Structure 1
Amino acid sequence: MSTLQSPMLVLAGTFSFAAAAAHLACIVGGPGWYRAMGAGERMALAAARGQWRPTIVTLLISAILVTWGLYALSGAGVLAELPLQRWILPVITAVYLLRGLFFMPLRAHFPGNSAAFWYWSSGICAAIGVVHLVGLWQAWG
């Protein structure tokens, strides 16, 4: 472990962990939470029927977000360096920024998600992407 190189990457990691926790809350909270988070009626109904798809999809997204949080903490110097970190952190940053800024083409593939979901989640993703970008600049100059 090295010294703290980027407080903003620590913040970015914290945001990724919080997003993972919010996703996991949907599994625990059930259909009402899927609806409240804007995941769409199809996901909520599938959860209400006890189908595995919402749980699997949500666990997968949560696992990805936790992994991204770990990479951010590693890039900040809080954790030991992770494999391919110098490549993966910019990719994570790009994914957050692209998801946040260019969500309109994605909307067509997920018609059940509410407009509020798209605007809120896209704003959050864009903000996390900016925090990542500033964090990378702090860490790597």
Structure 2
Amino acid sequence: MNRRENNFLIAASGCCFLAAFAHLGCIVFGADWYRMLGGGEAMAQMAEQGLWYPTLITLTIAAMLCVWGTFALAGAGVIKKLPFTRCILVVITSVFLLRAFSFSALMPMFPGNSLTFWLVSSGICLFIGSLFAVGTKREWSRLTQANV
């Protein structure tokens, strides 16, 4: 593209794709990966039983992360801008930061997940959300200066 790339959004994209691959690893490698990555014992047991639910949920999360990574690349100027990129980047940022800070409210809904899972995953969401926030802010300013 003809403008300087946004390294914060490139890093956010990489994190999203890495997280998507980790989720896909749960599907490929099964219950042990659900346990190792903190998916909870219930998800691990359902995976062991060959039920479709863990696969569907995990594929949905992986697909969403891939879409978000693609929007980060579009916002960074690595690929062609996608429709509503700026607005979607704000939504993605908000989702990551909301997830990071609302873990204590979410914990009772997922009793099978350990405190370690909640702290680590919330820290990861805070990190990725911060990358999206800084990258989106920089992108927004650049677009405003260019009158685009």
Band of TM-score, shorter chain: over 0.9
**Structure 1 partner of 2:30:** 30
How do 1:73-112 residues align onto structure 2 when only pairs under 5 Å count? Answer: 73-112=73-112
Distance 1:68 1:33 in 2: 23
User: Structure 2: 5+ residue runs without aligned partners?
Assistant: 142-148
The share of aligned pairs that are identical, in percent, is: 50
1:2 is displaced (CA, Å) by: 4.2
Extract structure 1 runs of 4+ deviating beyond 3 A. none
1:20 is displaced (CA, Å) by: 0.4
Q: Which amino acid aligns with 1:58?
A: T
Distance 2:138 2:112 in 1: 39
Distance 2:86 2:115 in 1: 35
Contact 1:2–1:78 (8 Å) recurs in 2: no
**What CA deviation, in whole Å up to 9, does each residue of 1:5-42 have, x standing for no partner?**
31110000000000101100111110011001111110
Distance 1:80 1:69 in 2: 13
**Structure 2 partner of 1:60:** 60
SS at match of 1:50: coil
Distance 1:57 1:84 in 2: 26
1:135 paired to 2:135:
yes
Contact 1:12–1:69 (8 Å) recurs in 2: yes
Count of residues paired in the alignment: 141
Distance 2:28 2:3 in 1: 37
RMSD: 1.0
**What CA deviation, in whole Å up to 9, does each residue of 1:96-137 have, x standing for no partner?**
011011211111111111111111000000010001111112
User: Is the deviation greater in 37-46 or in 101-110?
Assistant: 101-110
1:41 paired to 2:41:
yes
User: Structure 1: 5+ residue runs without aligned partners?
Assistant: none
Distance 1:111 1:82 in 2: 38
TM-score, reference length from structure 2: 0.92
Distance 2:68 2:75 in 1: 10
Distance 1:127 1:106 in 2: 19
Q: Which has the larger radius of gyration?
A: 2
